[in-house]
A and B are shown apart, each in its own frame.
Chain A
Amino acid sequence: MKPAKILRIARWELTKNAGGVDRRTLGVVAVAVVLLVAVAPVVAFSGVGLDDELYRVGISEESEFAPVVAEDNTFAVVDDATVQDLESGQIDLYLADTAVHRSDSEKGAAAYEEFRDSVATYNEQQLRQEPNHSAAFPVEVIVAFEEQTGSAVIVGAPDGEEPLPEQDQDDADDGQPADEQQEPSGDEEDEGQPAADEDTDTDEALTEETDEDLPADEADDGDPEAPEPSDGQELEEEDEQTGPLAEFLGPLSEDGLTGSPADITPPFPFQSLVLAFLFVIPLNFVIQAYGSTILSERINRRGELLLVTPVSRTDIIAGKTLPYFVGAMALQAVLAVGAVWLLRGELGGFISVLALTPLVLLFLGSTFLGAMFARSFKELTFVTVTITVSLTSYAFIPAIFSDIDPIALISPLTLVVRDLQNETIALSEFLFSAGPPTLVALVFFTLGAGLYREEDMFDQRSMSGKICDSLVGPITSKWHVGLVTVMLIPFVLVTQLVAVATFFALGELAIVLLFVVVAVTEELAKTFHIYAAYEHNRFERTAKSAVVLGTISGAAFFLIEIAILVFQLIGFTELEIGEALLLFSGVITGPTEVVLLLPPLALHVATAVIGAFGAFRSKRTYIVAVSLAMLVHLVYNLSVVMLFV
């Protein structure tokens, strides 16, 4: 690779369209950006105010509702209005001393409903400002969200009638009502405060006092038996959220909430959702531009002349990709650092940026390969939508549940969410999350690069034909079949992990479904490139060559079993479904029992040979043979489960 050439192509990629935008357009864009930057914070913090002064209100001088109207911008006070003005339509509501009159119109009814909500909100605020919470909220429920361990979430009440979390039982033993424990009363309160309350500071209405008077570290000191957040995941003790948006987003980790019964809501991980959304969405815009530029090289043979320059295709691809990679990373870095600052009021987010790198690579890699497959912008649209949906699902959905289940770690975004929540991330967790997508991205780039040549770039072969081309590209000898098999292992791995995340809630059915996915993905990964190689006349179509190629591919694939061993190192097998995934490899009883590795080796070789036998004859026989191989694989896996579980 020649860095100078890569940078020159990257510069060209950035500037080639500059001539198409005149100065006036640039000026308009610049002004728009400046306005957007200026207006965005105002909108973010104060809202757009679309319903400001929507309803006109008359108020008598003696009305008790005056403070409610003053607090709500929805209402505009009409001076010197009387109740008679309701009929003329000059006002929508008239607030007498203690009574509310409304006009006989739809708007009057809407104004009345709005006013009732405003009164409720106002009353709630007033109650929360009461120094004596027991008086304000005679009944209070504490909800503590626990890490999932297979049992239901424990919900306790302060009067001891219901089971309490361990730390709360200690509190109950003290005979103190929970509401009193929240009173700002110094060190005593630290002892009685549930550890789960550490993160409730952002909910102003609920825990304003504890935010100031109950630092998280002190709470931990006072409650040594507070549960660990999760296996191997330790919350940073100084888990304070003091950034500008901390209150808006709620607690970083919803370990617990206190408040009135009206405050009880399902434990929806709102913040994880927002954070995951924040990082994934911009990537979808980047890949649109990236996919277009790659495909535009292929339309009308535009990229042909680059291929006759003394620049390797690797350099061309790297140069064209670099601006989008740097741009996406810069965007993600700004978002990560900004999110840390907004939520925690400090600079940080380095780990987040590091964790986002494989995700950016995966988006770009899959888009690159997709753009090499697509024959038109119409097809590219289909491809990018598919990529957007699949990768967003892969990255986004697990990350939402980053606080709930270790399966969430299959997405690098989970690392980001946890980093932003100031949790410690183990190296093994990082590798588990970031490794497979990085490898898959590299595989995608490699396969796409195999198509970045005159013969494949400009022809109009179907997508399936292009997939065959990309797989066959690296195969020039029988040993390369094994190499391609190994290349496909990360892709298989990620597919199976996504399947785990998708099916894990389905119990025993999940295991069967997972094994179906395992059989399908692994048999295709072992034999599809063999079929493609035969189609491209890379090998003689004989039974002998099929046996040789199948054996090489099956043996190479067996390496995936070693990769799966890595899962065990991070506790993945503690999940029932994770255990099931590992069973077929024969390593469940320990990696030292090498003999148990032989059956899966034999399985992979046998099924790959079955697939190869079909591949060397025709497309139809390949479909039949690979289906048979999948069936054998599935039966084997289910048999192992039935015999050993």
Chain B
Amino acid sequence: MIAARELRKEYGEFVAVEGSSFSVAKGEVFGVIGPNGAGKTTTLKMLAGLLEPTSGTATVAGFDAQNTEMRSRLGFLPEESPLYEEMTALSYLQFFADLYDVPTAVAQERIHETLDELGLDHRERQIGDMSKGMKRKVAIARSLINDPEVLIYDEPASGLDPLTTNYIIDFTAQLAADGKTIIFSAHNLFHVESICDRVAIMHNGAIIANGDLDTLQEEYGTTRYRVYTTVEVPNSVQENGQYCRTVESMSAVERTREAAEQAGGVVTDIRTDESSLEDVFLNIAEAEAKQ
């Protein structure tokens, strides 16, 4: 559904995106993560047809990203929600529905349905008078006004309170469940981890890792073992009346057990912790920084 081939974007001497290639299958949720300035937004804007690549190609729903026809099949949500604040939510959404050639009756039904799902009640209120979260919901409703096959969401929950953030993340997950193809960027890696099928990690304009979460964890993550003992051993911390030592290998687990027995105690429990996406990201970023 989405394919990027050697996408490159230059601004004069500065290279914002350097040869990015990836693809997203229909119905898949694809996350793009990376530090600020990594090239995430530039990549998403090239996919949305807003930016023309210096070289490389991007296709969305079978159309070149620069093709106007492609835009009818796309819902784009930029990081900021630049709305026309002097309009009401309803008139704003109807205006965009007209631009997408959505019949008025269909548009009205879709607008109210989406706003119901998003829990936005003040539809006749001017957008300028709405809270940030409400504005974001209007922006999301606008991205869905043409019932697009592909959604490109750039930081959809950026700057919102936890309640609204969770609402929007859940709503995005629901859209994915409904079969939309979603490409999604976020700084909050927990959100990405919770709804994305695959993830690309960008750094300095390049994709440095790309795959499903299991693969990334296997390749870049680490497994940690928490060894609980009845007596204190070196590097352990007291936790609920026991002592816990975190190690990164089975041999270290064995050494911990021997140390506990020498001190007259025993190992009561061993737990395994898999790396989170955040750990993976930090590991990769750290490795990149060292290079």
Contacts and interface: CB of A to CB of B under 8 A. Distances in A.
Interface of A: 5, 8-9, 12, 15-17, 19-20, 300-312, 453-455, 536-537
B96 A19 contact: no
B20 interface: no
Given A17-B86, A310-B68, A455-B51, A305 B142 contact: yes
9 contacts: A16-B87, A300-B80, A300-B82, A309-B100, A312-B68, A454-B45, A455-B52, A536-B12, A537-B12
Contacts of A454: 45, 50-51
Contact of B100 (A12, A302, A304, A310): A310
B71 interface: yes
Contacts of B71: 308-310
A453 B78 CA distance: 15
B24 to A, nearest CB: 18
Contacts of A301: 78, 80, 82
Interface of B: 12, 45, 48-52, 68-69, 71-72, 74, 76, 78, 80, 82-84, 86-88, 91, 95-96, 98-101, 126, 142
Contact of A308 (B12, B49, B86): B49
Contact of B84 (A8, A16, A311, A453): A16
Nearest to A306: B99
A16 B86 contact: yes
Contacts of B86: 16-17, 19-20
Contact of A309 (B80, B87, B91, B96): B96
Contacts of A309: 71, 96, 99-100
Contacts of A312: 68
A5 B98 CA distance: 8
A305 B78 contact: yes
B7 to A, nearest CB: 15
Given A304-B78, A308-B76, A309-B100, 16 more contacts: A5-B99, A15-B91, A19-B86, A300-B80, A302-B82, A304-B50, A304-B82, A307-B50, A308-B71, A308-B74, A309-B71, A309-B96, A309-B99, A310-B69, A310-B99, A455-B52
Residue in B72, B74, B82, B100 whose Cβ sees the most chain A Cβ within 10 Å: B82
Contacts of A9: 99
Interface of chain A: mostly helix, strand, loop or mixed: helix
A293 to B, nearest CB: 11
Contacts of B99: 5, 8-9, 306, 309-311
Contacts of B100: 309-310
A307 B69 CA distance: 13
Residue in B76, B95, B100 whose Cβ sees the most chain A Cβ within 10 Å: B95
A305 B82 contact: yes
A310 B82 contact: no
A19 B88 contact: yes
Nearest to A15: B91
Nearest 10 Cβ contacts at the A-B interface: A454-B50, A310-B71, A301-B82, A302-B82, A309-B99, A20-B86, A308-B76, A310-B72, A8-B98, A300-B82
A305 B84 CA distance: 10
Contact of B126 (A20, A300, A305): A20
A300 B100 CA distance: 23
A460 to B, nearest CB: 13
Contacts of A20: 86, 126
A131 B99 CA distance: 74
Contacts of B74: 308
Contacts of A306: 99
B82 A19 contact: no
Residue in B51, B99, B142 whose Cβ sees the most chain A Cβ within 10 Å: B99
Contacts of B82: 300-305
A316 to B, nearest CB: 9
A312 B69 CA distance: 10
B40 to A, nearest CB: 16
A454 B49 CA distance: 10
B68 A308 contact: no
A28 B79 CA distance: 41
B68 A12 contact: no
Contacts of A311: 68, 99
Nearest to A12: B95
A455 to B, nearest CB: 6
Contacts of B95: 8, 12, 16
Contacts of A302: 82-84
Nearest to A20: B86
Nearest to B75: A308
A9 to B, nearest CB: 8
Contacts of A304: 50, 78, 82
Residue in B96, B98, B126 whose Cβ sees the most chain A Cβ within 10 Å: B98
B163 to A, nearest CB: 25
Contacts of B12: 536-537
Nearest to B10: A537
B82 to A, nearest CB: 4
Contacts of A537: 12
B273 to A, nearest CB: 42
Contacts of A536: 12
Contacts of B91: 15-16, 19
Nearest to A536: B12
Contacts of A305: 76, 78, 82, 96, 142
B156 to A, nearest CB: 14
A630 B163 CA distance: 66
B48 A308 contact: yes
Contacts of B98: 8
A245 to B, nearest CB: 40
Nearest to A9: B99
Contacts of B49: 308
Contacts of B88: 19
B111 to A, nearest CB: 16
B140 to A, nearest CB: 12
Nearest to A458: B82
A308 B50 contact: yes
A537 B11 CA distance: 10
Nearest to B145: A309
A15 B74 CA distance: 27
B9 to A, nearest CB: 9
Contacts of B87: 16, 19
A455 B68 CA distance: 17
Nearest to A312: B68
Contacts of B72: 310
A448 B287 CA distance: 46
A367 to B, nearest CB: 21
A19 B83 CA distance: 14
A307 B71 CA distance: 9
A96 B122 CA distance: 80
Residue in A302, A309, A312, A536 whose Cβ sees the most chain B Cβ within 10 Å: A309
Residue in A19, A20, A302 whose Cβ sees the most chain B Cβ within 10 Å: A19
A15 B87 CA distance: 9
Contacts of A15: 91
Contacts of A303: 82
A454 B76 CA distance: 14
Contact of A19 (B51, B78, B126, B142): B126
Nearest to A459: B11
B17 to A, nearest CB: 13
Contacts of B51: 454-455
Nearest to B67: A310
A445 B52 CA distance: 21
A302 to B, nearest CB: 4
Nearest to B101: A310
Contacts of B68: 310-312
A16 B98 CA distance: 14
Contacts of B96: 305, 309
A5 B102 CA distance: 12
A465 to B, nearest CB: 10
A17 B84 CA distance: 9
A64 B214 CA distance: 114
A7 to B, nearest CB: 10
A252 to B, nearest CB: 46
